[in-house]
Structures are given as C-alpha cells and as structure tokens.
Amino acid sequence: MGGCLSKPKPVEVKVELTLLEKEKETDVMSPNGKASPFSDGRPNGAPGHCSDEDSTPALRSHHKPHDYVEASVCHVKDLENGQMREVDLGSGRALLIKEHGEFSAIGHKCPHYGAPLVKGVLSKGHVRCPWHGACFNISTGDIEDFPGLDSLPTFQVRVEKDKVIIRANKQALQSQKRTKVMTKCSAVVNANTGFSHVLIIGAGPAGLVCAETLRQEGFTDRIVMCTMDKHQPYDRAKLSKSLESTAEHLRLRSMEFFQNHDIELLTEKEIASVDVRSKTVTFRDGLKMEYRKLFIATGSKPKPLNYKGKDVENVFYLRTPEDANNIARLVNNKNAVIVGTSFIGMEVAAALTDKAHSVSVIGIESVPFRKVLGEKVGKAIMKMFETNRVKFYMLNEVSEMRGQHGQLKEVVLKSGKVLRADVCVIGTGSIPATSFLKQSGIHMDSKGFITVSKMMQTNVDGIFAGGDIAMFPLSLRSNKKVNVPHWQMAHMHGRVAALNMMGRIVEIKTVPYFWAAMFGKSIRYAGHGEGFDDVVIQGDLDELKFVAFYTKSEEVVAVASMNYDPIVSRVAEVFGSGKGIKKRDVETGDMSWLIDKGTQ
C-alpha cells in the first residue's frame, strides 16, 4: 500500500506502581487560587503544573487527601519530546505528554465522543483529536478548537529521582472531562421584562457555545437563548447515524445546567422579525424582546423538493429527533427510498440497511459525493453501499410520490422507473433559515446567507451571526468569504462571536473539519476543497483504506480519509499553522515529512 505515514513507535500502557494514598497533608493554594502542591518548581525545570480540576470553588473546598491518587508512571527517559503515552494510575488513566523537555498530564479521552487522544496529534502546546479534530491545550486542558463543549482535566506532574509522578483527583480521572468555570448573571432581571443584554436566536451548537463562552469569560448580564425546537440543544449530527436516538439521548446539556449558569432557554419560540433600529425582535406569538447584542444562529433548513403528490404521507425531511424516530419506526421490513446522495442521505441509507426490506437511493449525479469527494472516492463508497444491498438510481430525479389511502406506495422517477416505497427520506441539500430577516437591513447574499466579518459581526453594529447561515472570511482560502455548514465550525463561530460581543476583538482562525459515518466506517475531512481541480489518492480505495488530497493548481486545499487516522488531523495541524502543502509533496507517496511539518 502506498503512502503510509511512518508512525512513531507504539508505546505500551505501563503502570510501575500505584504509590499512594500516601497523600500530601493539604493542598497549598497558589496566589491565583489554583491548587498547586508542587508549586515550588520541579526538578526538570518546568514550572509547577496547576490542576484545573481544582479550580472549581465547590470542588476545591471539598477535596480531601483521599480524593487523590499518586503514581510513578515511567522513567523520564521513556518519553521523547513530542511523544504522548496513556498511563494507568490505578483509579483511571491519564495522557502523559512530553514537549520541549516538560511533562504534562491531562485526561486521555476526548470529551466529544471519547476518542483516545494518544492516537491524536501533538503539536505546539495542544493535542488534536484523531476522530473529529477537537484541540486541547496540554497545560490547561482547555478546549481550543471544536467539536465538543467540555475541556479536559489536568493532573499534576513532578519528576523525582528520574521517575515521572502524576498526582490526580480520582473523580476527574473517572469523568475525563471538565466543564469550564462560569459566572452567573448578577444583573437585576425580571424574567417577564422584554429586555436581554444578549439575545441568541437559535440553540444549535453556534448559539449554545456563544452562551457558554459568555459565561466562561465572565459575562454577568442577562442571556436569553431561544429556539423553535421543543427540545433543549441536542446533537443534531447524530440524527442520521442513529435514527432511534431520542432527544433525551442526544441532549447536550441538562436543564439544570442552564439554570445553574443563568442561561435562559426559551423553547418553541420562533422569531418572526428583527427591527434593528429599535433593537427589538418579535416572536411569532406576538411577544417582543429588546436586546443590546444579538447573535443570529438559526442554521439550515431542508431544501424543498419539487414533485407531484405532496400530500402523500411517510415522506420525510430529516431535521429533528421526531423525524429520525418516525423513519426508524416505519421502516422495519419495508421498502425505503432515499432521495439525494449528500452526506445526510447516504448516512440514512446506511443506517436503514439492517432494518428495511430494501433501500434504494436516487441521485442526480453519476456517483454519490462527486462534488465534495471526487469521482474515484465517490465510486469506492458507492461500491461499499452496493455490497450492503443498497440499489442506486443515479442520473435520475423524482417526479411523483404515489400513495394508497394517503400512505406512500411508489416513487416515480423522471426516467419513468417506478420504485416500490413505504418510506421516503429526502436529503437534497439545505438552505439558510434566514427568511425572517428579509426586511431587516442585515446584509444577506442572494441565497440568504448572512455575510459577516472575521469577528462574526454583520453590517449592523451589535448584531453577530454564525453557524450554517454565515458567509465568513476563511484565512485558509486567503480570506475568501465561504459558507462551511459543519458541526465544528458552528461551535467556533459561537465562540468568536461571544468574545467579540464582550469587546475582545478576536478574529476567526480555524480549519474546517467534518465527518460522516456509514457501516461503522468514518470519512473524515479537513480544509476547504471548493473548486478543487485534481485529487491525489494514496492507500487503497478498494479496501476503503485511503487518504485523498484535493488540490487546486499546485496547492493542497483539503484532505479526506477512511481508515487512515490520524492523517486528517495531521493535515489540519499543517493548515492551522499557516503552512501550505504542495501537490508534489503528496504525490510521492512518502508522507513521513508531514509528521514534522505539523509539529514544528
């Protein structure tokens, strides 16, 4: 197989001894309020490492010596600079890292979906997750790029007689995640008043991260977040992968969380219009609310498909947990037809194969994913679907949905072909949910995307926008304004908007990253491949073990992979550092250089 990365030697998980329960008497509080029992410096010359799990006041006051475990985990020479190792402390594992001669230790599992971070990419003070590209600071454990809401716990490290010793809070070792400390609202608020200092329209990842960032960064005024959904924020990206999951299973934060952090969440509240002169929004039910700062993050909605027979039942667009649950309920041993070969359509087709009697996919292109992943990759993935009993009707479109007693029975194609169908899922793209802003004066392009600056600021002072609806300058593509409708990007937009609302003047800097999952395999993708003119493939497409580099002229602009981790995260590191990758570099098949390029 061509193009294998020469990987660093695998290092085994090793426990030398689980020393303690022989605890330090009490933790000495350092002046910054963090527990730092080893604050008088470490033999390896590194400054004392503070433990963030101790930074929550509630935890701090309750931590007792027996809440901690201490273990000698390896010899100082066991790790080279730039290496990571998962180590066992008896009560749980930690990720031990050596960079620039210093050791640090953080949680070993990504708080997003639990990926082993030891298989990720260590680079310039952070580790990037191998699965979906979230980044964590190795000193603070803080999440620096997304997806995911939580950060990692950090653990104290010291070197004694050439042994590396980690001291960790047992609870933090178990949970492997840490929610950042947040302020509460200190403004006098009458919940019935129609005024909020910050009003967030939309409770998807962009809206949610905006609200959380404000509280994490010390914002103490009122925050109201409203959503048309009847649910609390949930993991929408899982809908097409796990159709049976309920809104409860997919919930991102509990109601208690919102109450504890004074983030007022209004569900089933649709905004009908925004008046930028009086700084007032009007809800569909007639209520009005004034705002000082507004963040618009209303996401996408499915692009409607034109066909005859609109009143026939059991035809779905997939947007909500109810849509997903209904599809799953109706499809057992029935004939399912998917219209559209986008990521959503294809994920649903894959998820239905073990439930439905038959699964047929109708696509307007010659192969699925051709526009995003290219012809060759699209064909390889199509073959995987065919092997799993999925029938394709490509270069085709739907003309009619025919029913019997109002229920779907047949899907008629423009070619004249008639397919038996009991359930149909339409996944033919999406449009920005911004029609309510048409008369507002907020600048939108001809397709309804809101154009924003690098600070996620619209043309109207005090109004920010982010997530799927935003056209923003992407530094990776010379600040060309682009739309990147990814879960990860929406998080980052929310964070940047919040910081700028607080006057921090922060420009967006991130590498687009997304994934899709089918038949237990994941496609990972980083960069922005729009307008690519060639694809360089290394690995084996037939085996579905490959990396594809999308190039424009002589530059690599995006990368996709299957079964080739952590190459997409590695390339994302190179892109993120501002260095380019040349087409000739990836054509050789030897990509060992990539390891250095991403970490220098």
On the 0-12 / 13-18 / 19+ scale of CB atoms within 10 A, 285 is exposed
Please report the sign of the dihedral spanned by the C-alpha atoms of residue 347, residue 353, residue 355, residue 357: positive
104 binds, among ligand FAD, ligand FES, none (CB under 5 to 8 A by kind): none
Does 129 sit near ligand FES (CB under 6 A)?
yes
Which residues 182-221 are close enough to bind ligand FAD by CB under 6 A? Answer: 201-207
Q: Is 237 in the site for ligand FES (CB under 6 A)?
A: no
State which of residues 98, 132, 180, 197 lies at the interface with ligand FES (CB under 6 A). 132
- The secondary structure element, H or E, covering residue 540 is strand 534-540
Piece of 329-337, 361-369, 404-412, 511-519 that binds ligand FAD (CB under 6 A): 511-519
The Cβ of residue 466 has, within 10 Å, a number of other Cβ atoms equal to 32
Q: Which stretch binds ligand FES (CB under 6 A): 38-46, 105-113, 216-224, 543-551?
A: 105-113
- For the record, the structure tokens of 496 come out as 């940047």
Strand ranges (DSSP E) for 427-479? 430-432, 450-451, 463-465, 470-474
DSSP, collapsed to helix, strand or coil, labels residue 269 as coil
Token pair for 355? 């439930």
Contact present, 439 and 422 (Cβ < 8 Å): no
Rounded CA separation 130/381 (Å): 21
Query: Among ligand FAD, ligand FES, none, what does residue 392 contact (CB within 5–8 Å per kind)?
Result: none
Options 515, 549, 550, 575; binder of ligand FAD; rule CB under 6 A: 515
Q: Per CB under 6 A, which of residues 314..343 are in contact with ligand FAD?
A: 318-319
User: From ligand FES, ligand FAD, none, which one binds at residue 134 (CB under 5 to 8 Å depending on kind)?
Assistant: ligand FES
Q: How far is the CB of 4 from ligand FAD (least distance, A)?
A: 27
**Least distance (Å) from ligand FAD to the CB of residue 467?**
2
131 binds ligand FES (CB under 6 A): yes
Compare residues 113 and 283 and give the one whose CB is closer to ligand FES.
113
Decide: is 436 part of the binding site for ligand FAD (CB under 6 A). Answer: yes
Quote the DSSP letter at residue 40: T
Q: Which is nearer to ligand FAD, 237 or 424 (CB)?
A: 237
Which of 34, 215, 236, 293 binds ligand FAD (CB under 6 A)? It is: 236
Does position 147 interact with ligand FES (CB under 6 A)? The reply is yes
Per DSSP, 105 falls in state E
Longest dimension (CA), the chain: 81
Q: Name the binder of 538 from ligand FES, ligand FAD, none, CB < 5-8 A by kind.
A: none
User: What is the DSSP pairing of strand 288-296 with strand 423-426?
Assistant: unpaired
Query: 382 vs 433, which CB is nearer to ligand FAD?
Result: 433
Interface region with ligand FES, contact rule CB under 6 A, candidates 107-115, 222-230, 239-247, 376-384: 107-115
Of 403, 423, 229, the closest CA to residue 329 belongs to 423
What's the DSSP call for residue 35?
B
Pairwise CA distance, residues 188 & 353, whole Å: 55
Rounded to the nearest whole angstrom, what is the least distance from the CB of residue 515 to ligand FES in the complex?
Answer: 8
Backbone angles phi, psi at 224, to 5 degrees: -120, 130
**Closer to ligand FES at the Cβ: 177 or 597?**
177
Instruction: List Cβ neighbours of 10 (8 Å cut-off, separation of 6 or more).
Output: none
Pairwise CA distance, residues 530 & 536, whole Å = 15
Of ligand FES, ligand FAD, none, which one sits near residue 203, judging by CB under 5 to 8 A according to partner kind? ligand FAD
What amino acid occupies position 523?
Answer: I
Work out whether 108 is an interface residue with ligand FES (CB under 6 A): no
Check binding of 561 to ligand FAD (CB under 6 A).
no
487 interacts with, out of ligand FAD, ligand FES, none, CB within 5 to 8 A per kind: ligand FAD
119 scored as a contact of ligand FES (CB under 6 A): no
State yes or no: residue 549 binds ligand FAD (CB under 6 A).
no
Q: Alpha helices, DSSP H only, in 232-342?
A: 247-250, 255-260, 321-330
110 binds, among ligand FES, ligand FAD, none (CB under 5 to 8 A by kind): ligand FES
Strand order in the sheet with 407-413: 398-404, 407-413, 418-420
Which residues form the interface with ligand FES (CB under 6 A)?
110, 112-113, 115, 129, 131-134, 147-148
